[in-house]
Structure 1
Amino acid sequence: MNPGFLLLVGLELVALSFTIFQANKFSQLIVCLLIFGYLLTLLYFKYKKQLKVFLAILVIFVGYFLLAKKGPDQPNLNQPLIIYPDQVKINDDFLSGQGKIGKQPVSLAFKIRENEANALKDDQILILHNVQADIQEIDGPTTPGQFNFKKYNQGKDIYWQLKIKNYQAMIKKPNFSEQIHILRSKIQNYFAQFPQNVRFLASEMILAQNPTDETKTILENYRDLGVIHLLSISGLHVGLYTIVIAAFCTLLKRTEVETVIICSIFLLIEVLLSDFQPGFVRASLSYILASFFNLKKIPLAAGDRLGLAVLIHLLIKPKLFFSSGAILSYLLVFGLELTNNLSKLRQNIKLNLLINPVLLFSFYRINILTILYNMIIVPVFNYVLLPLTFIAITLGKFLPSIVDMIEKLFLFIMRIIEMIANTKLGMLTFGQLKWWQAIFLLLVTVVSILLPSLELTKLRLKYWVVVSYLIIFIQIHFPLYGQVTFIDVGQGDSILITTPFKRKAYLIDTGGKVSFGKKKSQPQVNRITLPFLYSQGIDHLDGIFLSHQDADHVGDLGPLLDQIKVKKLYFAKGLTDNPSFRKRIANHTNQIKLVPLLANDQVKEGGLVFNVVYPFQPGLGKNEDSLSLYFEIAHKKWLFTGDLDRNGERKIMEHYGLKVDYFKLGHHGSKTATDPEFMKKLTPELVFISSGRNNRFGHPHPETLQTLQALNIPALNTQDSGTITWTYSKFGPSKFTTFLSRKNK
């Protein structure tokens, strides 16, 4: 077989995978087909003798991918539901995770009874009968930049979520194939006995999972420094594992064949324990293939081994490249093959350039000092953290004092890493690349590596790469348009206002979840608002206007201030007399300018004039004290009144007699919000409602919607439309876009 054939076949199958699974737009389909066609042309002219082999492989994979593309039908609850202990988490009496009906995996969320919870904690498999549940398709993102849980779950063949109301349960005796779930659960429970940092590293290294929400900060620190790959078991760990095993085999005088078999068995077990973590599977396949061909004395280039590995991996997991981790893993190895003749420093620079398009498309931020941080942290990880983790989990049960010493050292190292990460040194909020920009930058980077001497108009391609990044950066950070965006934060308010060119950015409220009961969840600002801001290249806010003190309006203020720079806080005078509000801002008063406001005040910044039209006297930040803002952008008049009551609305109309184009409906469209007479006088051409899906308050209230209909006033609701954006520019008409429909209104 001619060198390079399997590499090209692998690349062709990757292109086929993106064509079938991820080309959702016509333009994306055309680009994928062009890349596929180009690779097919190379195969035709370079490997005519192997063309029949390729066509046979292609036919098999086309059929296989098309079958995999069709999602499963709604699960049949007449079949038993199996729950494995290693695939769920139980907090208090609430279970979340995944189960299986027949061969179909499903997402689970329900209140579990004590007996069943104890059984799962004791490494038992549950089988549920007579299940009564609401079955829903897993929701996709509703805001730009938000993590796509729907796509993530589809990559694991999970399409449906069950919210179980009632069930009958019994313990299932595990069959042979289910023993791995029992083993994973026992390991999870064993690791749970260790202190936090040892437990965290052990779980990441062996099981490829983050054990608790408490340790998410550690993950974020590694991610911010660009060394997150150390925590994702991958080629690095396969190399370390096989070196250690080979050393022991040498001491025991084992043959090369025996060593390869032992290493392969260990890697296959670890693949199962890591739940088929993509990077580890890829590296394990590469080791096993390389060892096999070396033992058989069959010459096979490293690139062809990579192509064969991706072929096998796609057979195991056809939706492999739904995972950005899988894309990065294969791209890095491909880059290593392209740059193996370069010095270490130049190779690292090229590799970082190669993966940047994927990182910016998926995560919007990069650390430009990643190479430096890798030079510092990788040796510490390889020679301190990793070996001591294995020492701790191996000897910890017998020598707990050793674990305590290791934990203290780990805590010291983690604090140093956190201190460096908190400086944000090198962190660049670039913004999200469009899909075609990511492909263009990736292709230009690959060509610049393959053809370093090629010149276009007397400029080397590496300069074209730099110029391309610079143009995109300017386009994101100095946009030609401004916006007013109603961010879909569920049952709450958060509105982003930006200006064109030298962009100024303001928020009206931050959103926040109203807590019911003991169950705490991650702040919505981490899941929704911050990714949205970062996707637009916004790393600071010029100001935040706070309407009043309710949690659904300012509940996420503290977490937001912890993570992003804010210059000024604007609020109705008297709010700082509210103990709850003082507590929210207690740690930030030295970094932010506090600006109290009353009616008739103006805030003039960035070419905008925010007119305060309520309240007329200080209050404690209750609904009736809501800060209300009136402003004009691009000849359109806007009014925001928070959760102001009808009495406050009448006072606004008495003093100002406003008429507006756009108005955010009060109190999420509740029955008592927004007086019909007030609406008649405002005469808006469109109103907005910010309310959560299936909220317990029944917002927006039918009576409110009937009032709007009677007044012939259309409404857009985040509940139905997701995030709603109005854009304006000097170079074209303003327009509304809703994220869920992507249609201009």
Structure 2
Amino acid sequence: MMLILTLGFLACLILKDMLCIFCFTLFFLVYLYYRFKDKRILALFILLSLFSCILVYPKEFKTYETYKVVEIKKGYCIGKNKGSKIFIQTDLDLSFQDEVKVKHIEPIHTDDNFTLFSFTKYNENKNIRFKTNSIEIIHKSTSLKSRLYNYLKSKPNSSIVLSLYYGIHDETIDEIYTMLGYGYMSAYYIVLHLLKRKYDETKIRRILLVFSILFGHFFVYTLSLSRFILYQLSTLFFTSKPNQIAFTILLFGILYPNQVLSISFVCPLLLQLVSYFCTEHKWIVQKLVLIGLMFIYFKKVNLISLLFFNILRKLYGLIFIFGFIVQDLINLKLPELTIHYAPRILFLILFIVFYIQCLKHFKWKYLLILFVPLLEIYCNPFFQVYTLNLGQADCSVIVEPFHKSVVMIDCGQNLYRDNVERIIMPFLENKNIHTIDTLILTHDDFDHNGGYDTLKDKIEIKQVIEDSNQIVNADYPFYLLLSEREAKDTNDSSIISYFTYDHLTYLFMGDASKQIERQLMSEYDLKADVIKVGHHGSNTSSDPDFLDSLDCKIALISCGYKNRYGHPSVETLKTLENLHINTLCTSDCGSIAIYSLHHLSFLVTNDGMFGIIWA
């Protein structure tokens, strides 16, 4: 009963929205009534539901002049003053409990894309919404915590130890071991197993619990360590495994209400439930759960790491124990045999159903879930048009149903980031795109074709188009317009793409100016449902008469957040508004996707917007 109540409480925390919590509470109360026939249980869950509303209610951010460093990651730190945290990005050598003065703050913003990790959302879940790169150290800490960190950091090849002790992820260790805290957990059970041979297990657990709390105090309370401490605490109060799990869920939800969907909590919880409720083939079920979670959270599975999961977990436990005295550690990063897959709704639904069924009774037919990725990838009937968010650069990916063909328009670069390495290739891998049938390079600007040299070395490209006279190899109407034109500069020579699928017509303008738009009007009688606005929304493009003649429904704009060019211009946005064209900008909503299947068409943005397109 206690476990069911806390799982309901957990569901309320996950839903967050007050209306959703209210609706769920009503349905769950009906379930509880028919299950237990006890009004006291109903009253208790109502209290838990109300408590969850208080926990998830957005907290106001208060700014302070000074912050203390409470968390250190690779490339950044987290500062804290009372209940407010701030993201600190600096080249200064900071340590734990250093006090810094903040000169300027601004909202955290990253170029978010489908299937890729969102650093902005990650920090929002930790109630960190503002950042600074302008600080002054006003006090260097001499605390034991700071000295321990500086000592370990100064050791040769310290990256594995820093990862296991502080959660500072490094490429020398698989990320899942860092996030799940398996270094400390494995070390704990190694010590417990050795000592309980000679001493009372209950006393040893109490001593190790105190040690765990002290370890968190002098090092860092990562999410995985906090959850582990709460679970060990629950074993002192409850003998029943379900009650231990329920107690852990309740306390973790109270302490970290916005982190209940983190893999540091979800993965151990699901594996614990398998360990207790699953009566047969536990090893297989646990591996399938791990595969599913790694697809959901990391969009990839390293099969070699998964195969040696139990061995590596114990090995990291030994390294954790001897980390203070070992001077040279080998690189334990295993060779990769990696499968990439970004799960969609079908996989998520089947994963939940599979998990619930396996807790009751495992059947070999449940292994069919492993084929769902292939089903979703190669049996996807939707025509897909993606506008990636590369900042002040351009890249669009057009995927024909069932992966019949892939067309990419531009692969732009930025001066501050390798877009191909950081965004384009991870996106293609997660979508299981291993071949680009046609790459259209609209014109010779770094923000449009700058990634070509890198991209061609990483993925097969069958056809490259750099001239409007070439023909796109596609089985649907795909035209390159205005092959003969009067172009005054490189921008005006941009290849203009015009294609149709499922009764929707798309027009991609590159960086073409108003002059080229007028030439298009005089040369063709164009209509377009979706336009990729020219020149990142600059006022050099988007002539009102031209846009009006197209009878557009949607305008897409690629531009960087707070870019130095001021794109998109106020004039262009005003024109689009006056013409009642729905405008989506990557700098505001992240990457944009349009899906169509016959007469059904809809769009989705990375920040959660959803809209039906009426053809």
Q: TM-score range by the shorter chain?
A: 0.7 to 0.9
Aligned counterpart, 1:208: 167
Q: Is the 8 A contact 1:364 1:537 kept in 2?
A: no
Aligned counterpart, 2:439: 544
Counterpart residue type for residue 161 of structure 1: F
Aligned counterpart, 2:470: 601
1:442 and 2:352 matched: yes
CA distance in 2, matches of 1:35, 1:567: 53
Query: Which residue of 430, 445, 461 corresponds with 1:567?
Result: 461
Query: Which residue of 181, 194, 198 corresponds with 2:155?
Result: 194
| 492-501 vs 140-149, which moves further | 140-149
**Equivalences for residues 248-647 of structure 1 within 5 A:** 259-272=204-217, 275-290=220-235, 292=236, 300-339=239-278, 341-342=279-280, 346-366=281-301, 370=303, 373-376=305-308, 378-379=310-311, 382-383=314-315, 387=318, 391=322, 393-396=324-327, 403=328, 406=329, 410-411=330-331, 413-414=332-333, 417-418=334-335, 421=336, 423-424=337-338, 427=339, 429=341, 431-434=342-345, 438-439=348-349, 441-452=351-362, 462-463=364-365, 465-466=366-367, 474-515=375-416, 521=417, 523-524=418-419, 528-529=423-424, 533=428, 538=433, 540-557=435-452, 565-572=459-466, 598-605=467-474, 607-613=475-481, 622-645=490-513
**Equivalences for residues 618-697 of structure 1 within 5 A:** 622-645=490-513, 656-657=523-524, 659-661=526-528, 662-673=530-541, 686-697=554-565
TM-aligned CA deviation for residue 58 of structure 1: 4.2
1:19 and 2:12 matched: yes
Number of positions where the alignment pairs a residue of Structure 1 with one of Structure 2: 609
Specify the SS of the correspondent of 1:602.
Answer: coil
Q: Is the 8 A contact 2:71 2:77 kept in 1?
A: no
TM-aligned CA deviation for residue 494 of structure 1: 1.6
Give the share of equivalent positions with the same residue, in percent. 20
TM-aligned CA deviation for residue 481 of structure 1: 2.2
Specify the SS of the correspondent of 1:603.
Answer: coil
Q: Is the 8 A contact 2:537 2:572 kept in 1?
A: yes
CA distance in 1, matches of 2:11, 2:500: 45
How far does the alpha carbon of each residue in 1:201-231 deviate from its partner, in whole angstroms, 9 at most, with x for none? 1012111222xxxx44x45xx3xxxxx5434
TM-aligned CA deviation for residue 562 of structure 1: 6.5
Q: Is the 8 A contact 1:492 1:691 kept in 2?
A: yes
Q: Which has the larger radius of gyration?
A: 1
How far does the alpha carbon of each residue in 1:482-525 deviate from its partner, in whole angstroms, 9 at most, with x for none? 1323233332212121222454222212343233xxxxx5x455
Specify the SS of the correspondent of 2:610.
Answer: coil
Specify the SS of the correspondent of 1:484.
Answer: strand
The structure-2 alpha-carbon separation of the partners of 1:269 and 1:349, relative to structure 1 and needing over 3 Å to count, comes to same
The structure-2 alpha-carbon separation of the partners of 1:161 and 1:712, relative to structure 1 and needing over 3 Å to count, comes to closer
Aligned counterpart, 1:126: 99
Specify the SS of the correspondent of 2:249.
Answer: helix
How far does the alpha carbon of each residue in 1:549-601 deviate from its partner, in whole angstroms, 9 at most, with x for none? 433224455665676x44325131xxxxxxxxxxxxxxxxxxxxxxxxx3332
CA distance in 2, matches of 1:466, 1:395: 42
Specify the SS of the correspondent of 1:743.
Answer: strand
Aligned counterpart, 1:576: none
Counterpart residue type for residue 398 of structure 2: I
Specify the SS of the correspondent of 1:631.
Answer: strand
Q: TM-score, normalised by structure 2?
A: 0.82
TM-aligned CA deviation for residue 648 of structure 1: 5.8
1:83 and 2:83 matched: no
1:698 and 2:566 matched: yes
Q: Is the 8 A contact 2:12 2:52 kept in 1?
A: no
CA distance in 2, matches of 1:39, 1:540: 52
Q: Is the 8 A contact 1:548 1:627 kept in 2?
A: yes
Superposed CA RMSD in Å reads 4.2
Q: Is the 8 A contact 1:512 1:525 kept in 2?
A: yes
Specify the SS of the correspondent of 2:594.
Answer: strand
Q: Is the 8 A contact 1:16 1:36 kept in 2?
A: no
Q: TM-score, normalised by structure 1?
A: 0.69
CA distance in 1, matches of 2:356, 2:454: 40
**Structure 2 unaligned spans of 5+:** none
CA distance in 2, matches of 1:525, 1:249: 53
CA distance in 2, matches of 1:74, 1:229: 31
Specify the SS of the correspondent of 1:688.
Answer: strand
The structure-2 alpha-carbon separation of the partners of 1:40 and 1:307, relative to structure 1 and needing over 3 Å to count, comes to farther
Q: Is the 8 A contact 1:543 1:570 kept in 2?
A: yes
CA distance in 1, matches of 2:229, 2:539: 60
TM-aligned CA deviation for residue 151 of structure 1: 4.4
Specify the SS of the correspondent of 1:352.
Answer: helix
CA distance in 2, matches of 1:685, 1:507: 23
How far does the alpha carbon of each residue in 1:457-484 deviate from its partner, in whole angstroms, 9 at most, with x for none? xxxx653x45666567535532232132
Counterpart residue type for residue 243 of structure 1: I
TM-aligned CA deviation for residue 31 of structure 1: 6.3
TM-aligned CA deviation for residue 602 of structure 1: 0.9
Q: Is the 8 A contact 2:437 2:473 kept in 1?
A: no
CA distance in 1, matches of 2:305, 2:450: 35
TM-aligned CA deviation for residue 722 of structure 1: 3.8
Q: Is the 8 A contact 1:235 1:283 kept in 2?
A: no
TM-aligned CA deviation for residue 680 of structure 1: 7.1
Specify the SS of the correspondent of 1:18.
Answer: helix
1:74 and 2:47 matched: no
The structure-2 alpha-carbon separation of the partners of 1:135 and 1:30, relative to structure 1 and needing over 3 Å to count, comes to same
Query: Which residue of 234, 238, 241 corresponds with 2:185?
Result: 238
Counterpart residue type for residue 241 of structure 2: A
TM-aligned CA deviation for residue 668 of structure 1: 0.6
Q: Is the 8 A contact 2:407 2:437 kept in 1?
A: yes
Specify the SS of the correspondent of 1:271.
Answer: helix
1:170 and 2:64 matched: no
How far does the alpha carbon of each residue in 1:516-551 deviate from its partner, in whole angstroms, 9 at most, with x for none? xxxxx5x45566555655665545543332223433
Q: Is the 8 A contact 1:512 1:552 kept in 2?
A: yes
